[in-house]
Amino acid sequence: MEKGDIVINFGVIIDLDGTLIHKGNATLGASELIKYLKLKKIPFRIITNSVGRTPSELAQKVKAVGIDIEQSLFLNPIIALDKFLVENNVKSFYFVGPKKIAESLSVVPEYDDYPEYVILSGLEEADYNLLNRLFGYLKKGSKLLTMSRSEYYITEDGPKLDTGAFTRMLESHAKNEALLFGKPSAELFRAALIEMDLESSSVMVIGDDVMTDIRGAKEYGLYSVLVRTGKYQFGDELKEEPHFICNNLIEIVDAIDVEYPRFFLSARRTFN
């Protein structure tokens, strides 16, 4: 670190789908916000409940719409899941999701009659036979883990069922409430804070979904900002009240500079 560098005790966590990009395009102000954070050397992370793409693929996805973000700055529930499997020495599980994601896990599954855990990651290729197999495992005693409780996500072709819809259906047949690794669970937010080396009281979360982004942020003690893009519907802020509401990400840049000087009052200048 050079003499006179400013260290900002403030960070930003940004939701990906619906906030930075929507229906295959960058949202208004997305590129400007990322450039601003880099210019001001404000640490940030991009979090998503989507597990169909690796961090490298996510970086390529946003770059294609004009947003330059390093792949190391993307976090998704698979990171938290992998940590759970390793720390708890879990080997007996059945993973439902893309093969490339399953192969990225540090643990290779092993089980006989039925697995200890059924893990829901992505069900785009699900059919009756698969759902019936999962149903059978749960009836035998398998515990349910899920990457998301989101009921749907939005694509260029319109809304599509998300993992949360299948979680709700299968959960009624499980012996446990599904353990969640995606938003609004604290796991993703905690991982982002650890990487940025910041306390929750010094971090702003920006998202379009009040039930995942805003609820999760508030429950974990983070400053919540609802942006009226993506999933946002009129009146959503009444369901889960955010700390701040904006119409687009350009307003966030102005807000950080003008409305939230308190975040920068904790900046310290180094001279060593």
Q: Does 1 reside within a domain?
A: no
Q: What is the DSSP letter of 223?
A: E
Predicted confidence at residue 8, as pLDDT, reads 59
CATH code of the domain covering residue 264: 3.40.50.1000
Say yes or no: 86 and 154 in one domain.
yes
Token digits of residue 117: 């855990």
Q: Does 134 reside within a domain?
A: yes
Predicted confidence at residue 175, as pLDDT, reads 85
Predicted confidence at residue 266, as pLDDT, reads 42
Predicted confidence at residue 53, as pLDDT, reads 83
Predicted confidence at residue 226, as pLDDT, reads 96
Predicted confidence at residue 211, as pLDDT, reads 92
Phi first, then psi: give them for residue 52, nearest 5 degrees.
Answer: -80, -15
Of the residues 158, 180, 202, which one is the last residue of a structural domain?
A: 180
Say yes or no: 104 and 229 in one domain.
no
Say yes or no: 228 and 99 in one domain.
no
Say yes or no: 81 and 175 in one domain.
yes
Q: Does 16 reside within a domain?
A: yes
Say yes or no: 90 and 156 in one domain.
yes
Contacts made by residues 34-43, CB under 8 angstroms, sequence distance 24+: 34/67, 34/68, 34/69, 36/253, 36/256, 37/12, 40/8, 41/6, 41/8, 42/8, 42/10, 42/11, 42/12, 42/256, 43/8, 43/11, 43/12, 43/196, 43/198
Least Cα distance to 163 among 135, 131, 124 occurs for 124
Of the residues 124, 152, 180, which one is the last residue of a structural domain?
A: 180
Q: Does 190 reside within a domain?
A: yes
Of the residues 180, 205, 220, which one is the last residue of a structural domain?
A: 180
Domain that holds residue 172: 77-180
Say yes or no: 108 and 173 in one domain.
yes
Q: Does 161 reside within a domain?
A: yes
Tens digit of pLDDT at every position of the chain (272 positions): 343 344 457 899 999 999 999 989 999 999 999 999 999 899 999 999 888 788 899 999 999 999 999 999 999 999 889 989 998 999 999 999 988 889 989 999 999 899 999 999 988 888 999 999 999 999 999 999 999 888 888 787 888 888 989 999 999 998 889 999 988 888 889 889 999 999 998 899 999 999 999 999 999 999 999 999 999 999 999 999 999 999 999 999 888 876 555 554 443 323 22
Say yes or no: 174 and 261 in one domain.
no
Say yes or no: 33 and 22 in one domain.
yes
Say yes or no: 63 and 189 in one domain.
yes
Number of structural domains (the chain) is 2
